[in-house]
A = this chain, B = another copy of it.
Amino acid sequence: MISMKEIANRAGVSRTTVSFVLNGRYKQDMKISDEVATRVLATADSLGYVKNELVQSVVTGKSRVIAVISEFHEIMMSVVKGCVEEAAKYGYLVELIPLEEDINKALMTAVKYRAEGIFACDLPDKMMDEVDPKFFTFGIPSIGLKHNTGRMSFNQMKSAMLAAEHLVGLGHRKIICFGMDGSIAQQRAEGYRRVMAEHRLEPVVFQPEPPGSLKELEEAVARIIKARPDAVFCVNDPLAMHLLNRLYKRRLFVPDTFSVAGFGNVSMSELASPPLTTVSEPYYETGRCVFQRILNLIKTGSESAPEPFIGKLILRESTAKNTKYGGKK
């Protein structure tokens, strides 16, 4: 792999000159003759020179790399993609560090490679507390660890309210909330509760998952069906699809039997039977936003608290107007 030194020799100039030319700073900082500049550029090109960013990182103390630590669930790809693409725009590279049960090991890897920023993407709750305090002495800008706003900025509650309001707006009264395990699901359930309270409707939450074997899920679904609700708000799409699934098995059509709304807009929700009404989380945008926050932290040292995203209601065919109560229109 050829170096600046060789270019300097071949072109008959000094390495400084080469450096300045190659960094495109030969117009402002130093005045290098156009003739020399072109010659340098030409030889660099003919020799197939490619700058060694690693060295630049060492010298400048800036690696232009940010580390993403995660378990890399399928669903996270969009977040990562958003982060990677946004980073690329600013000349930053993203490196992936697997979590594999030890957050401190992962963190140390990031430090060893001198990542300028760290994005702990969707850490399991319990790991939040396991982070060695000494890590923070390095002062590396990070998002997703406990000491900052934590997680990604997405307003689960308000987003869930969108779905709940949609169901109420369709004229449904007996609306069941399905699932509430985990802190995120609880925020969604809370959104549901608020909407129900606003409309003086009685909230009913079915909680099947947690130790959550398939069997318990089965029972919960059976109970829901027996309850004959007008609509069911599922705290996540897979849960909703599971419900659709069991209804299908009983030859019960949706939304005829009752409406079903999900949450998350996972890729296949569009192809569910019927296509699922749900709330989208802007994963890609979130990833971009996280990079922006980290970049801001790197540049200015101050945390920009962005307005949390609010999901969008995705209207599809699993929800429909209620006619039972002589529903409006």
Chain A interface (Cβ < 8 Å from any Cβ of B): 1, 48, 50-55, 57-58, 63, 65, 72-78, 80-81, 84-85, 88, 93-98, 100, 108-109, 111-114, 134, 137-138, 238, 241-242, 244-245, 247-249, 251, 253, 266-269, 271-275
Contacts and interface: CB of A to CB of B under 8 A. Distances in A.
Nearest to A51: B112
A275 B238 CA distance: 13
B52 A114 contact: yes
A-B pairs, top 8 by smallest CB distance, nearest first, are: A268-B268, A248-B273, A241-B271, A77-B77, A72-B81, A273-B273, A95-B95, A74-B77
A1 B112 CA distance: 11
Nearest to A73: B77
B72 A112 contact: no
Nearest to A243: B271
A252 to B, nearest CB: 11
Contacts of A58: 52, 54-55, 58
Q: Give the residue among A73, A96, A138, A241 with the most B Cβ atoms within 10 A.
A: A96
A244 B244 CA distance: 13
A271 B273 CA distance: 10
A98 B241 CA distance: 32
A100 B108 CA distance: 31
B109 A93 contact: yes
Contact of A268 (B55, B57, B111, B241): B241
Contacts of A242: 271
A286 to B, nearest CB: 14
